[in-house]
Structure 1
């Protein structure tokens, strides 16, 4: 009787061991821990697996390039194609027309589009804010401008009216009681501003990095005031947006894009060594400049209270006719 019992126990033990072996084979769990399955690249569950994003080749895009280069988009099931735009406004236009899904831009065009009724855009991810020495008004040694107090009545180069370059320059001048109404604004593309300063086409200019460092090397440009002061300290600078229609139709795809960008932004913020090679490859910056330049403040999740500063400044400077509540323009945020 005891022999029969022992035999039954042995049979049950063998069956149990077999069951454990089957479970282990199926789940990939072993005695030393577990093997995490790789994220599917099939995009299962996403409304669309290929995204087109319009961008500008600036230092602000480092987390985006990092997400592409490190496979963070792929891990979320996305294939992301970048489309170069000539300006933030041009980038926004591509999203409005449906040529791209998501647009990168400085923030003012998103709010001016809202104020004029040109498009119903939603902001879907933060990108950068002003950092100390990352944006400045600069001059050159042979210019009549030596300090910010010399700017009234002079020629100042900006990229376009009602852009970040225009608004931030006027705000800083206002902080120093300099009359920007007397300025002769000269519209020049960022890559051409250093040469314009050298040739006397402009007496001073608004420049972000990497153009500050490049202009210092090629034209001896000297910052006369840091934008990261007064009313524009830590000012929200750039972000990503999409049409409200696209956001409503692609919630899972948007969340996947946001998760990849959040991961890449964390890496870019905490490890400059990951950023510099990407600037050389994608922003076409030489290695010395990539090492010397001041990076902007990177962000990914939108903070409504902080971002409200942008339309408030636009209203104060007369760039939009009426107040805009940022909360009405913020799309769903993954992780919140």
Structure 2
């Protein structure tokens, strides 16, 4: 089982400094910029619906709600629970939500297929050391990454982060994924599937890694935070281009609140753990033990370009996508 998350030295410090800088700059904008005054004056809308999934990636979002950062920006933010990243995206496209939280692949596949013209509006998480892994159980025939060739591997769905990152790690280690039997199972059911032999191995993020270790004796085969998927952009927030164009001040208010909350989450784990217990329905012991993802809020096009590039490489999209064309305006920049 993976241990408690630790700071990542100079890289994490540099990220934290960048967040602090942006938050400080946004504070100045909030005082003098158009439509950014407290109480929602000038905002196109003051009630915001955000479709989310109850995962550890949402800690800064819950923190922004709990600490009143949205309220300070004049926003009332309502959570709309979605069953998956794709379902979350669909709620944004249909108008049931203003902003959608998801892993990154659905945003790019929607753009590639013409299903929706989505813009990315805020970062959320990246793969962190020991926060995402391919795991197995002691009675499985899979003992090493080489054993994954031809195995039954549980993922949530094809062309999702679980699928793409698993295939990328296998490719890095020259393991053929062409004969893998992919078993599609929602995250909450994967530990039981491993126990019952329905799958030989599985891709899992936290908190499911820690929970599967506790309930099924799951052990890591390989950490996803290696090779081509090290520090890989994992989740973010998006909205339709139409919504972004019609609500620039509301979007900026949301971004400022998220930047401040992300800063807090990076520096104070004690604020994060109770939120995971309350909102992600994780028990206190798991919240203390699990490895947190790498939190972020500012969208970096060079970093995010890795996502559509991997989608293209693995055949999940038919043609290249320039990330710059999908990044919306960001408060403080």
| Rounded Cα–Cα distance in structure 1 between residues aligned with 2:37 and 2:296 | 26
Corresponding residue for 2:53?
56
| Rounded Cα–Cα distance in structure 2 between residues aligned with 1:200 and 1:283 | 27
Corresponding residue for 2:259?
262
The count of residues paired between Structure 1 and Structure 2 equals 299
Is 1:221–2:218 an aligned residue pair?
Answer: yes
| Rounded Cα–Cα distance in structure 2 between residues aligned with 1:139 and 1:314 | 25
Following TM superposition, by how much is the alpha carbon of 1:43 offset from its aligned partner in structure 2, in angstroms? 1.1
Is 1:238–2:224 an aligned residue pair?
Answer: no
Of 76, 79, 84 in structure 1, the residue corresponding to residue 81 of structure 2 is 84
Of 152, 161, 178 in structure 1, the residue corresponding to residue 175 of structure 2 is 178
Following TM superposition, by how much is the alpha carbon of 1:41 offset from its aligned partner in structure 2, in angstroms? 5.5
Contact 1:136–1:208 (CA<8 Å) still a contact in 2? yes
Q: Per-residue CA shift, 1:61-82, capped at 9, x if unaligned?
A: 0000000000000000000000
User: How is 1:70-109 mapped onto 2 (pairs within 5 angstroms)?
Assistant: 70-109=67-106
Corresponding residue for 1:68?
65
Corresponding residue for 1:18?
none
| Rounded Cα–Cα distance in structure 2 between residues aligned with 1:100 and 1:163 | 21
Contact 2:39–2:73 (CA<8 Å) still a contact in 1? no
Which structure has the higher relative contact order (CA within 8 Å, separation 6+)?
Answer: 2
Is 1:112–2:109 an aligned residue pair?
Answer: yes
Q: TM-score, normalised by structure 2?
A: 0.89
Corresponding residue for 2:268?
271
| Rounded Cα–Cα distance in structure 2 between residues aligned with 1:185 and 1:41 | 50
Q: Structure 2: give runs of 5+ residues left out of the alignment.
A: 1-30
Contact 1:40–1:75 (CA<8 Å) still a contact in 2? no
Corresponding residue for 1:299?
296
Q: Does 41-50 or 289-298 show the bigger shift? A: 41-50
Following TM superposition, by how much is the alpha carbon of 1:169 offset from its aligned partner in structure 2, in angstroms? 0.1
| Rounded Cα–Cα distance in structure 2 between residues aligned with 1:147 and 1:291 | 28
Contact 1:152–1:179 (CA<8 Å) still a contact in 2? yes
Query: Which is higher, the Rg of structure 1 or of structure 2?
Result: 1
User: How is 1:28-67 mapped onto 2 (pairs within 5 angstroms)?
Assistant: 42-67=39-64
User: How is 1:83-232 mapped onto 2 (pairs within 5 angstroms)?
Assistant: 83-232=80-229
| Rounded Cα–Cα distance in structure 2 between residues aligned with 1:65 and 1:113 | 27
| Rounded Cα–Cα distance in structure 1 between residues aligned with 2:144 and 2:237 | 35
| Root mean square deviation of aligned Cα | 1.0
Corresponding residue for 1:20?
none
| Rounded Cα–Cα distance in structure 2 between residues aligned with 1:131 and 1:154 | 26
Counterpart of 1:212 in 2: which secondary structure?
A: helix
Contact 1:129–1:298 (CA<8 Å) still a contact in 2? yes
Q: Structure 1: give runs of 5+ residues left out of the alignment.
A: 1-35
| Rounded Cα–Cα distance in structure 1 between residues aligned with 2:225 and 2:37 | 42
Following TM superposition, by how much is the alpha carbon of 1:42 offset from its aligned partner in structure 2, in angstroms? 3.2
Of 326, 329, 333 in structure 2, the residue corresponding to residue 332 of structure 1 is 329
Q: Per-residue CA shift, 1:83-127, capped at 9, x if unaligned?
A: 000000000000000000000000000000000000000000000
| Rounded Cα–Cα distance in structure 1 between residues aligned with 2:159 and 2:38 | 41
Contact 2:120–2:327 (CA<8 Å) still a contact in 1? yes
